[in-house]
Structure 1
Amino acid sequence: MNRSMTTATNTMSQLQKQFDIISNNIANSGTNGFKKRDVSFADMIFQEINNQPSRESEIGRLSPHGIRQGVGAKLAKSAMVLTQGSIQNTGRSLDFAFTSENQFLKVRVQDDGGTHVRFTRNGALYVTPSGNNELMLVTQDGHAVLDQRNNPITFSDKSTDFTITNHGEFRANGETVANLGVIALNKPQYMEQKGDSLIGMPENAGVNPASVYTDLNSTAIAIQHQALEASNVDLSKELTDMMNVQRALQFQSRAITVSDQMMGLVNGIR
């Protein structure tokens, strides 16, 4: 009975992590440029018990020899899915949508831990005063948009007419201000969600960023102007997965209850 309870408890903790990931996908289904995560499970360590004196006694057996007793399942991988979300025309001059699945915009985020470079596919941009008669290009959350040299994009506060070309060139009043800083994400499995549509490298990852993403020049950038990319979350699938996880959690909880009841019966035998 102890093994049954251990197996159920271990599996429940992993199912809860899957439930949290699904909940995050659903919560961000309306976030522009958000990329969902899918999870996969694997068996945890198991013990093989030989129930026959020799292999010859089970000649012709198709299943593995012996009896395998595991200790539950574990979350093997949580992978970001980079499939393209639907593109919606907005007619707004500071909106853009990437048309290549693995391209992300570089932004500067300041928090209690310092200043970090993050990446997003949310192309809803705005301008905000930055002092010295200048404006700065920012995201809808106020994070500074970076250019190809990782510098904030600033320009005169007299500018009124803004354009973003199909290759990431930002223009104000018809003149080129800067090229948007854009990366090609080669290994999305190394990225962590950093809130809303932001992703970034984990702290102390011990991985060379150059092997995870590549800075792009303007000729490789693919953008659609005056449009936004919706999230790639399929709500019907996520809700179905959530119900399946809830049933699995109920099953594992019931297994613990039954095991406890059986242990009580055994202990009550005189």
Structure 2
Amino acid sequence: MNRAMITASVTMNQIQSQIDSISHNMANSQTVGYKRRESAFHDLLSQQLHSQSNPQMEVGRLTPLGLQVGSGAKIAQTVLQFEQGSLQTTGRELDFALTTANHFFRIESSDGAGTEERLTRAGNFYITANSENPEQLTLVTANGDYLLDNNGERMIIPEDFTSFQLQDGQLFVTMQDGSLENIGTLGIRQVHNPQALVPAGENQFALADLEALGYAEADIVEDVGVAEIAVLQKTLESSNVDMAKEMSDLLVAQRHYQFNSRAISMADQMSGLVNGIRG
């Protein structure tokens, strides 16, 4: 395989990864709180070929000596874009929308081997029985992970409540006698560097290995105080996917893929011509 074919095939593989990322964005355009991914490319190392055997011919040259032959391109990073999605009024009491771009709900997720705290922007919650005490009720995400309060505990709901009210980040339930009972403050965390978050599935994020990156958790994440909580009840945040942009990016990526595919075909044809001449 000659150099042109290697360069094109390496780039095609990376472009396919970009197309997969765009397809993932488009598939989640209607997912509550979803944040789109965007691929960033950079060139692979290039090789310097010295094709001029007479240095005297290069006197006064301003460009690098010889030829620079690249090795293709690769995805340097898949960046999460955390700009605010549009807000939609639902009228449902357990639908909450965060209105600050770098704030996240605290979630307790279980994978069978243990529990782990994760973060999410999806604010559609539901009532279920507390697994630690079946006689109690608590709030969960659409896939059954527990919503946590600002102390990292599950929010316990009395059985004889009638409705929910959110006031300054604190969740109240109206009892049958008309009184209000505070069941806790929504657990919300601020992420100073969203790129330290790793997608964990189910529209949730986990923290990367901060120690390996040279950070302490306090440098990246902090709890949001009651006075700083900005949440709207009966509202959901839509995904921040712009379908027009994704379609445009997809067309560009497909054209790049076709260009590199054509380069492989032309290199193969040239190899065939060379082999024919040798014969």
Q: Compute the TM-score of the two structures, normalised by the length of structure 1.
A: 0.92
Counterpart code for 1:149: N
In the alignment, does 2:73 pair up with 1:67? no
Counterpart code for 1:76: A
Q: Distance in 2 between the 1:145 and 1:48 partners?
A: 57
Query: C-alpha deviations, 1:171-228, integer Å up to 9, x for none?
Result: 1122211111111111111222222421112469734333322221211211112111
Conserved in 2, the CA contact under 8 Å of 1:102 and 1:185?
yes
- Give the deviation of 1:132 after TM superposition: 4.3
Q: Distance in 1 between the 2:134 and 2:144 partners?
A: 18
Identity of aligned residues (%): 38
Go from structure 1 to structure 2 and tell me whether the alpha carbon gap of 1:183 and 1:54 turns closer, same or farther (over 3 Å shift): farther
Q: Distance in 2 between the 1:112 and 1:9 partners?
A: 41
Query: C-alpha deviations, 1:129-169, integer Å up to 9, x for none?
Result: 2244311111122110011121111121112211122x321
- Give the deviation of 1:40 after TM superposition: 1.1
Q: Distance in 1 between the 2:26 and 2:134 partners?
A: 42
Q: Please name the residue that 2:156 is paired with.
A: 154
In structure 1, the residue corresponding to 2:153 is in which secondary structure? coil
Q: Please name the residue that 2:184 is paired with.
A: 178
Conserved in 2, the CA contact under 8 Å of 1:122 and 1:229?
yes
Conserved in 2, the CA contact under 8 Å of 1:191 and 1:202?
yes
Q: Compute the TM-score of the two structures, normalised by the length of structure 2.
A: 0.89
In structure 1, the residue corresponding to 2:7 is in which secondary structure? helix
Q: Please name the residue that 2:77 is paired with.
A: 77
Number of aligned residues: 268
In structure 1, the residue corresponding to 2:201 is in which secondary structure? coil
Q: Please name the residue that 1:198 is paired with.
A: 204
Query: C-alpha deviations, 1:224-266, integer Å up to 9, x for none?
Result: 1211110110001101111111121122122122212222222
Q: Please name the residue that 1:141 is paired with.
A: 143
Q: Distance in 1 between the 2:271 and 2:58 partners?
A: 34
Go from structure 1 to structure 2 and tell me whether the alpha carbon gap of 1:22 and 1:149 turns closer, same or farther (over 3 Å shift): same
Q: Please name the residue that 1:264 is paired with.
A: 272
Q: Distance in 2 between the 1:67 and 1:151 partners?
A: 63
In structure 2, the residue corresponding to 1:206 is in which secondary structure? helix
- Give the deviation of 1:113 after TM superposition: 4.8
Counterpart code for 2:142: Q
Q: Please name the residue that 1:6 is paired with.
A: 6
